[in-house]
Amino acid sequence: MNPDAYLQSLIQWASGEQGDVAITLAVNGVIVTGWIVSEGEYSEGLAKTWEVSSQTLEDIMGRHYEATGAPLYFHLRDAQIISGGGGTTTVDWWRGRLEAVDGFTIGGLERDTHSEG
């Protein structure tokens, strides 16, 4: 299955110089929401979290960063993963495959404070 071309374009635009774009995605039955970041910012954030250099992280991950065409992955900071049972896990950094995304909306999740009745 190929990634959604619109989502690829959105990720490419938002992870460029746009900055601070929130997104919420449905990925294999869970909801993932967070702020879109570039692969470079994701890598730097992980390096700081793990207290290693960016070069060490590249060695660990076995990846040399290249700008080649449309993205195949999305990278989020301050991500929340919400399972079907309602449990929520918050992580500093999240990386996912674009082709695994079932649906998305631009923006984060807000708790509905209105009650009916």
Q: How far is Cα 81 from Cα 2, in angstroms, rounded to an integer?
A: 23
pLDDT of residue 62 exceeding 50: yes
Using alpha carbons, select from 32, 107, 19, 29 the residue that is nearest to residue 73: 32
Q: In terms of C-beta density within 10 A (0-12 exposed, 13-18 middle, 19 or more buried), how is residue 43 classed?
A: buried
pLDDT tens, residue by residue, 68-96: 566 788 999 999 999 888 789 999 999 99
Model-level pTM?
0.75
pLDDT tens, residue by residue, 13-47: 888 767 779 999 999 889 999 999 988 788 788 77
| Band of pLDDT at residue 63, cut at 50, 70 and 90 | low
